[in-house]
Structure 1
Amino acid sequence: MIEHAGVQPGGAPMAGLARQPAAWIVAALLIAGGLRIAQIGGRFVTTFPLATLTATALFALLAVPFWWFVTELDFLEREPAVLRAVAFGWGGLVATTVSIPAGTALENIVAKLASPGFAAGWGAALTGPTVEEIAKTLGIVAIVLIARSQINSVLDGVVYGALVGLGFQIVEDIVFSLGAVALAGRTDDVQPVVTTFLLRGFLSGVWSHTLFGALAGAGIGYLVVGTDRSRAARLSVALLAVFGAWCSHVLWNAPLFGDGLGNGAAGLLAVLLLKGLPPLLLVMLLVRRAHDHEADFYSAHLAGLRDPGLITRGELAVLRSGAQRAAARRHAQLRHGRRGFVAVRRLQRAQARLAVELSRAARWPGPGGPAVARRCAEIRAQRAVLTGLGLPEAVAPRGGRDAWVRHAWSVVTVAAAVVIVWAALTALGGH
């Protein structure tokens, strides 16, 4: 059902946010959460200064590629930076500080209702997802409340949900790694931090909280933009998506295969794939459908221009695909270095911004004229830069030497990633 949700015109530029009561409530919650995290961090810094610095640096570096990848998902209609920061902050500051005490309290209730043994085995699998997925989903709802006009597609919900999950994941992993230092009973030792980073961050991060948040965000996005369906149908899909995030989280935390599937790296990899691959494939499918639907919407506005000075037919096809956009940049980089890469990227960004302005002008005629003219001038300026480099358009050839070089670099990158992952699995498998 989600893939059929409509795409709405790009939201109006952010204005008047400070006048909304919901924005002040969210700001207060972020401040309160930040103070609580600072209090927890202060105790760790005092006791384990080197371990705290190491954990913060490692997981902050891990957040960078995740942040970049998530924001690139919505290349055609990028979300405002302030809302992306709010989503990340909610996950890292609000959802974590709510989940820590609430999870402990709920686990105690499970121990009393069932048994201490059951709580020890399944408590984290049941209470953690219940508290954490609700807390994270409320962050996506908060974005809707303070900036409804910025939720224009299911993909927007995915982006905000993933960023909430990313914020939660980074802060939780820092706390877990420092808890591992304390549990080891050693002094200021970074080894437990590195082990936690490899397992919870490097190996598990791709199908952990960021993934769960993206799944819930898809449901909230559908609830907002799927106006061609009844409210009951949209709410059902949203609840189903949140339930799917909860089920994925339960599976991830469940004490199944606690002894692994065999010894060493192969057994650990099998467990990670068995628990993490199904929700990862589901979210990848949802993202692909949502991206294609959004690309159809915005490319239709650009196609109506029929002006090769603004966008050629080849560039229109390239703009619709993340892989082709990246290929066009790499092609320019191979021929003209960093200047070529930047020139193509800036042209693509300008064309995407024009598509958004055209969608706004189609819905709200009149005031959008100057904004459209400004974006057209921006594209023509970038076109002149590209032409000056000897590139007639921002596309990558299908064949030839450059294509082979791009494919070779892709193979090398994948091979390097496999080697690094296997080395991490081997180190943990023998730990």
Structure 2
Amino acid sequence: MIADEVRPGRAAALAGVPAFWVVAALLIAGAVRMVQITGRFVTAYPIATLVAVLLFAALAVPFWLVVQELDFLEREPTELLVLAFAWGGLVATSVSIPGSTALENLVAKLGSPQLAAGWGAALAAPAVEEAAKTLGVVAIVLIARQQINSVLDGVVYGAMVGLGFQIAEDIVFAVGSVALAGQGDRVQPVITTFLLRGFLAGVWSHTLFGALAGAGIGYLVVRRDRGLARRVGVAALALLGAWASHALWNSPLLSDGLGNGAVALLAVLVLKGLPPLLLILWLVRLAHDREADYYVARLATLGDPELITDGEMKVLGSGSARASARRLAGERAGAAGRHAVRRLQRAQARLAVELSREVPTASLSCEQIRVQRQVLRGLGHPEAIAGPRSWRHTASTVATTLVAIAVLWVALSALGGA
């Protein structure tokens, strides 16, 4: 289902689900709590709070776009993505702030103050936060079970819950760093926190942990061809993986073992964050390929090259191939060709989903495909196929990588100097 397509009656259907009102009540309670927290920040540090909100809101945009594009073939409804983001930013955060503090105090009492100082964040925060975030994916399942059709759906909703949590928590930490600095309403601590928690740590932080736990919930719900015990075991293992990744990230391991400076900090970030990142990328690839095979097979039954050609079927199931097709269209037919190919691909994806669900509006998607086909013919590029990898694209990729490394180095050096 295409996310930007608003189906009549969807809001009414959600309102008719009892779980929706339970979730709504929790969101309101979480919003009240977060308003109380931010209200104190605004009163004490208005400029720093505004800068923190703007910086981390801007950071959320590219994360949102990437997460939304993970499931290109069956895009999730925008309202459910917003709901997942809101759960992470309001419910999970408002529960985790006092919950983690209470559990850290318990670690200090049952263990020792030294244990709590060194390992409290690694033991307490993951236990509370990962459970609170995973419940957000469960809430989506209870409200809109029909939207969870693959493991990839669980990844998307889990990542969106994690993103909401990450942004809200980072804003709290950023303004909290201003209070700890004790130098009044200054923005320098906010910028330092943004570079460290947002720019450097964001790629393998809560969004990643949430995606891993969400994959487990997706497996539990979708893979009915497997036994219940196995599905529950996989879901528990995924949640344990999210907890372990989070605990490793918060742990004091390697904090003093690699020296000081930018290189040492980068090495710690990579050693702690790269394993779970590679794991979730592998899971996304497996889930995407499985979903792509299913939906492309639906299109293959049409046997109509006006709707999709053999070459386009090979392209539609691969994210890199879809991007290559849009890039080739841009080279041959300019921006109009690139946009037409993207619209064609989205219409083909929508048609595949509608065929799998026997949706009566499939004829509308067919008409949209034919319209874009005519546009491409008029531009002299009738088929959305992938082109060979060009030296320009390779050069652009290398240049972008070098710029990213340079920016990363500057950020790390700035943090090291601070």
Name the structure 2 match of 1:379: 369
Q: What is the CA distance between 1:260 and its match in structure 2?
A: 5.2
- 2:148, 2:221 within 8 Å by CA — same for their partners in 1? yes
Does 2:253 correspond to 1:249?
A: no
Matches within 5 A, 1:5-404: 14=10, 16-259=13-256, 261-361=258-358, 368=359, 370-398=360-388, 403-404=390-391
Match 2:409 to one of 409, 413, 422: 422
**Amino acid of the residue matched to residue 415 of structure 1?**
L
Distance 2:252 2:179 in 1: 23
Distance in 2 between the 1:304 and 1:413 partners? 41
Q: Identify which range, 145-154 or 13-22, moves more after superposition.
A: 13-22
| 8 Å contact kept, 2:46–2:185 | yes
Q: Match of 2:376, as an amino acid?
A: L
Structure 1 residues 290-299 or 388-397, which shifts more?
388-397
In structure 2, the gaps of 5 or more residues are: 1-6
Shift of residue 331 of structure 1? 2.2
Deviations 1:237-292 (A, max 9, x none): 00000001000000000011222512211100110011111111111111110110
Amino acid at match of 2:412: L
What's the counterpart of residue 4 of structure 2? none
**CA distance, structure 2, for counterparts of residue 37 and residue 157 of structure 1:** 26
Partners of 2:372 and 2:252 lie apart in 1 by 55
The CA distance in 2 between the partners of 1:339 and 1:251, in whole Å, is: 47
Identity value in percent: 69
Q: Distance in 2 between matches of 1:43 and 1:338?
A: 48
Counterpart residue type for residue 267 of structure 2: A
Distance 1:424 1:336 in 2: 39
1:405 to 379, 386, 392: 392
CA distance in 1, matches of 2:347, 2:394: 27
The answer to whether the Cα contact below 8 Å between 1:327 and 1:406 also exists between their aligned partners in 2 is no
Q: 1:67 deviation in Å?
A: 0.6
After TM superposition, give the deviation of residue 17 of structure 1 in Å.
1.0
Q: Tell me which moved more, 413-422 or 326-335.
A: 326-335
| Cα separation, 1, equivalents of 2:396 and 2:316 | 22
SS at match of 1:16: helix
Shift of residue 95, structure 1, vs aligned partner:
0.1
Paired residue type of 2:249 = W
Letter in 1 for 2:363: A
Secondary structure at the counterpart of residue 77 of structure 1 = coil
Aligned partners of 1:260 and 1:271 also within 8 Å: no
State the alpha-carbon separation in 1 of the partners of residues 89 and 341 from structure 2: 35
- 124-133 vs 319-328, which deviates more? 319-328
1:55–1:193 CA contact under 8 A, matched in 2: yes
Q: Cα distance, 1:71 vs. partner?
A: 0.8
TM-score, normalising length: structure 2 = 0.96
Q: Deviations over 1:24-75 (max 9, x none)?
A: 1111111111121112111111111111111111111111111100110100
Supply the distance in 2 between the matched residues of 1:186 and 1:198 (Cα, whole angstroms). 20
Whichever residue aligns with residue 375 of structure 1, its letter is S
Normalising by the residue count of structure 1, what TM-score does the alignment of the two structures yield? 0.93
Alpha-carbon deviation of 1:396? 3.0
Cα distance between partner residues in 2 of 1:375 and 1:407: 35
- Other structure's SS at 2:75 match: coil
Counterpart residue number, 1:9: none
For 1:271 and 1:260, locate their aligned partners in 2 and report how far apart those are by CA, in whole Å: 9
Task: Assess if the C-alpha contact under 8 Å between 1:260 and 1:268 holds in 2.
Answer: no
Give the Cα–Cα distance (whole angstroms) in 2 for the partners of residues 136 and 61 of structure 1. Answer: 22
Give the counterpart letter for 1:416 in structure 2.
V
CA RMSD for the aligned pairs? 1.3
Q: 2-side partners of 1:125 and 1:291: how far apart? A: 32
Deviation at 1:428, TM superposition (A): 1.4
- Counterpart AA for 1:81: T
* Deviations, residues 72-130 of structure 1 (Å, cap 9, x unaligned): 01000001111100100000000000001111111111111111111111111100000
The alignment of Structure 1 onto Structure 2 pairs a total of residues equal to 410
| Partner Cα separation in structure 2 for residue 321 and residue 419 of structure 1 | 30
Q: How far is the alpha carbon of 1:341 from its aligned partner?
A: 2.1
How far apart, in 2, do the equivalents of 1:333 and 1:16 lie? 41
